[in-house]
Amino acid sequence: MTAAPAEAQEIQLTGPLAGAPAVRQLRLHRAGRFEVAPGASFTLLDEYRRTIMPGLRLTYHFTDWLGFGAWGGYGFQYNAGLTDELQRVAIDGRNCDAQPFTKACQLTRVNLTKGDLTKDQLGQIQWVAAPQVTVVPFRGKLALFAELFVDTDVSFFAGAAAIGVKERKECGTTNQNACAETFGLESRMAFAPTFGLGWNFYPSDFIGFGAEWRALPFAWNTSGFDNHGLGTDEAFPDRKVDDKDREFHFTSMVTVSLSIQFPTGIKTTE
């Protein structure tokens, strides 16, 4: 596996190009430039609520391989299929307002609202803001249909994210905050690491586009259910909805963006 790449290099090492740079006239799409990249992010593998997040990435690139900046966005949600199914079967179908004495209604009164799931208990990501470092180790070019050629690079980024989350209100077992009667959402701010990688294309000197995958691993209660709190490893319901019911989610998303580099003039290597 190592011999073949070395062979490709031998030509340069021993030929007339010995000592020459690997790439001449390399267009430096990033070095010394400020990048403004509006885009939209789409969360992946959502259980109950999917998020579309219009956002913006701002990065200043000190060199062609290192930049500092921030990414953020504001989320809009829509239901996954499971949410609609739960609403139809477990809430509207059971009609626990009218028949609270049924077994199913008795057993689910802590976990299921009698109204609208999305307004009363399902968690959602409202916004994200994340300062981050970007490293660009791979630069190259792409031939599409052997006709169209674009400069391209692969970037890796990592940072810390502040996340605005809406989750079901905390509730307990007292008369004042009994979970069977306490539904509704409240906001909190969560902090999480964020990291990922992006693939960027540069059809012109100052405009590019790209796609990136981002992870936001943190614990939150997506369902509003009481799943944990009692027993070994708190693996059983305790009839309270609190921070023990938050579960770790990798929370990944894909972002597509348009990038504009300033100044618009581009430098090239010799």
Partner 1 sequence: MGLLVAAALVAVPLTASAQPKGQPKEINLDEPETPAEGTEPVEAPAAPTDGGEETGLGDICKIDPTACPTINLEKEAAKDLKNETYAVQQIYALRYHRFEVNPYFGLTMNDQFVGHNGPGLAVNWYLTNVLAIGVNGNWYGALNTPSDFNFQTSRAARIGEPITEYQWNANANFTYVPAYGKFAGFSDFIFHYDFFVLGGVGAISTRPMAVVDPDNRTFDWKPKLSFHVGGGLRIFFNRWFAAMFEVSDYIFFDELENPSVAANPQDKSTWLAEGKSFTNNVQAQVGLSVFLPFSWEYRLPK
Least CB distance to partner 1 at residue 180 (A) = 13
Least CB distance to partner 1 at residue 45 (A) = 7
| Closer by beta carbon to partner 1, 107 or else 160 | 107
Q: Which residues bind partner 1 (CB under 8 A)?
A: 1, 3-5, 7-9, 14-16, 18, 22-23, 44-45, 47, 65, 82, 85-86, 89-90, 104, 107-108, 111-112, 137-145, 149, 152-154, 223, 225-227, 237
| Closer by beta carbon to partner 1, 135 or else 162 | 135
Look-up of token digits 């989610």 = 249
| Closer by beta carbon to partner 1, 32 or else 140 | 140
Look-up of token digits 């006709």 = 147
d(CA 105, CA 119): 19
| Closer by beta carbon to partner 1, 74 or else 108 | 108
Least CB distance to partner 1 at residue 98 (A) = 18
| Closer by beta carbon to partner 1, 177 or else 227 | 227
Q: Tell me: cis bond preceding 263? Omega within 30 of 0 counts.
A: yes
Least CB distance to partner 1 at residue 210 (A) = 14
Closest C-alpha among 156, 255, 157, 262 to residue 207: 262
Encoded amino acid at 138, one letter: F
Question: Could you write out the three-class secondary structure of 104-135?
Answer: HHHHHCCCCCCCCHHHHCCCEEEEEEEEEEEE
**CB-CB contact of 236 with 230 (8 Å):** yes
d(CA 57, CA 70): 6
Least CB distance to partner 1 at residue 185 (A) = 17
| Closer by beta carbon to partner 1, 77 or else 83 | 83
Closest C-alpha among 166, 165, 181, 167 to residue 239: 181
Least CB distance to partner 1 at residue 86 (A) = 6
Encoded amino acid at 125, one letter: I
DSSP secondary-structure letter at 170?
P
